[in-house]
């Protein structure tokens, strides 16, 4: 993970949650669909959040699975401090300040989630991470990645960026916050939907798809061998 990325997120950590709705024009659909796609067979699942930041996505999953054990990993200690503030002394939430793309994991998980983080990795690192995620999941486990996606051509990348900058300039954010957000976007390494689905398939996932897309924001879901439909007794075609 780029050290410059860590520094940028360290700097914005205290304001990150407050700004998130303004920086993601499709915030409600983006996160509600991602949350809905996280399916666990257990009522007390073990869930890993990659690039967890302030724990926003994890908090939504905690509402869905109140008995879940959450592991939040992020390179930015400042972001994890905000997550600590969110969850307080909750003993079922643990924190790891490390690079999730190279961390030596020792546990298996019912679900692995991520939001607006994996796009910071190089494309080879994304492919390697998808293999790691597949290995870390229990049979039937789900992987949900609410992230960014590149357009199929430079035209669409420019269109997505134009739509996003127009929206955030009308969001009420300060000029400083807007410019800082645009600067953070300058180091993004977005991959196309097609490439990400291919990498998920290569990693061994089945039933993987881009379930939601709004310009450059996309929600991907993939299951390890069995889908939640099959786990619930309904056969997919």
pTM of the full structure? 0.89
| Bridge partners (DSSP) listed for residue 222 | 143
Structural domains of the chain sorted by starting position, each given as residue range(s) with its CATH number in brackets: 3-227 (3.40.50.150)
Q: Report how far apart the first and last C-alpha atoms of the chain are (Å, whole number).
A: 39
Inter-CA distances, 190 with 80, 85, 147, 196, 235, Å: 24, 30, 9, 10, 34
Q: What is the pLDDT of residues 128-148, one digit of tens each?
A: 999 999 999 999 999 999 999
- Nearest CA to 142 out of 64, 47, 51 is that of 47
Compute the CA torsion angle 208, 52, 30, 220 (nearest 10 deg). -10
CA atoms of 227 and 44, how far apart (whole Å): 18
Q: What is the pLDDT of residues 66-116, one digit of tens each?
A: 999 999 999 989 889 999 999 999 999 999 999 999 999 999 999 999 999
Q: What is the pLDDT of residues 149-185, one digit of tens each?
A: 999 999 999 999 999 999 999 999 999 999 989 988 9
Q: What is the pLDDT of residue 18?
A: 72
Q: Which two tokens stand for residue 159?
A: 């269109």
């Amino acid at each position: 993970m780029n050290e410059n990325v860590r520094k940028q997120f360290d700097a914005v950590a205290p304001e990150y949650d407050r700004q998130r709705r303004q920086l993601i024009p499709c915030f409600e659909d983006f996160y509600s669909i991602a949350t809905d796609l996280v399916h666990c067979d257990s009522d007390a699942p073990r869930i890993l959040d990659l690039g967890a930041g302030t724990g926003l996505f994890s908090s939504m999953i905690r509402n869905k699975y109140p008995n879940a054990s959450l592991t939040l990993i992020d390179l930015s200690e400042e972001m994890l401090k905000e997550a600590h503030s969110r969850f307080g002394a909750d003993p079922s939430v643990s924190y790891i300040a490390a690079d999730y793309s190279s961390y030596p994991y020792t546990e298996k998980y019912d679900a692995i989630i991520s939001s607006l983080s994996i796009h910071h990795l190089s494309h080879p690192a994304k492919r390697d991470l998808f293999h790691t995620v597949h290995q870390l999941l229990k049979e039937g486990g789900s992987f949900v990645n609410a992230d960014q996606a590149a357009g199929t051509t430079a035209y669409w990348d420019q269109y997505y960026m134009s739509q996003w900058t127009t929206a955030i300039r009308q969001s009420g954010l300060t000029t400083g916050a807007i410019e800082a957000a645009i600067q953070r976007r300058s180091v993004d390494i977005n991959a196309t939907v097609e490439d990400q689905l291919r990498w998920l398939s290569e990693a061994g996932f089945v039933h993987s798809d881009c379930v939601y897309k709004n310009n450059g924001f996309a929600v991907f879901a993939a299951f390890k061998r069995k889908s939640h439909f099959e786990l619930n007794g309904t056969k997919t075609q």
